[in-house]
Structure 1
Amino acid sequence: MEFLEGIAQVSRMAAENTQSVVASVQEQTASMEQITTASSTLAEMAEELQHSTRKFQL
């Protein structure tokens, strides 16, 4: 009986750890999406700045 309880406890711990890993992956995915959006915005701003500064070139 103790053996089965031990297996059940290990299974619960594995499930908890899996949930923790899933939560971390979700957070990292959200961060990567934010970085992607910010990078795209920055690229657009850089293009606009280049376009704006062309009129000042001799």
Structure 2
Amino acid sequence: MRPSEIKQTDCSELQVIARWWLIYSDNRFGFSVQVKIYVERNFNIFGNIIEQKC
């Protein structure tokens, strides 16, 4: 999802997407996984958007 799409999506919908994404990818993909990777690489724009949203 693009940042603009995340901003326009309801938090509860993002939580459902995140949960199913983690479940069906065996915890390899998802918002939380992406945020962790971005933080580790000092690129936290994506994480900031998610944290502000939910």
**TM-score greater than 0.5 by the shorter chain:** no
- Superposition TM-score, scaled by structure 1 size: 0.29
- Superposition TM-score, scaled by structure 2 size: 0.31
With a CA cutoff of 8 Å and minimum separation of 6, indicate the structure with the bigger relative contact order.
2
Larger Rg: 1
